[in-house]
Amino acid sequence: MRRNARENAFKLIFESLFHSVDKELSSENLEVLKKDDDKTFFEQIMKNFEEHKDEIKTKIEENLKNFEYSRVFKIDLALIYLALTEILYVGTPRAVAINEVLELSKSYSTEKSSKFINGIISAIAKD
């Protein structure tokens, strides 16, 4: 399922906010992706995230209003990176990427995070 691929990507993006990712060590925390399409989708997200994370970080920093990048909750930041990677570089429709990330935020983040996440993604993705 694409959702599992997306969740795996979220976990690795989150991990990368703290240190470099070792996929072998991280694999025990990831869902096994059975379909080749899901594996390809996961790899697309991770490849594009790695290639464009500095650009995405700049966009996030430019769109934070009265808030510092370093103070953003890391889970929310990982979800924002995931959605923006999909929208800007993988070609996922904006509404789909935002909806999927907001669903993940219900499991991993706080109740108030969805508005913040949605606001940042929407501001950047509309450009």
Q: How confident is the model at residue 28 (pLDDT cuts 50, 70, 90)?
A: low
What average pLDDT score do residues 28-52 get?
86
For residue 67, the model assigns a pLDDT of: 85
For residue 33, the model assigns a pLDDT of: 79
| DSSP count for the chain of H helices, then E strands | 6, 0
Answer yes or no: are the C-beta atoms of 68 and 101 closer than 8 Å: no
Expressed as residue numbers, the domain containing 70 is: 2-125
More confident residue, 91 or 19: 91
Q: How many folded domains does the chain comprise?
A: 1
- Its pTM stands at 0.92
Q: Is the dihedral of CA 12, 17, 22, 28 positive or negative?
A: negative
Q: How confident is the model at residue 26 (pLDDT cuts 50, 70, 90)?
A: low
CATH number for the domain spanning 64: value is 1.10.940.10
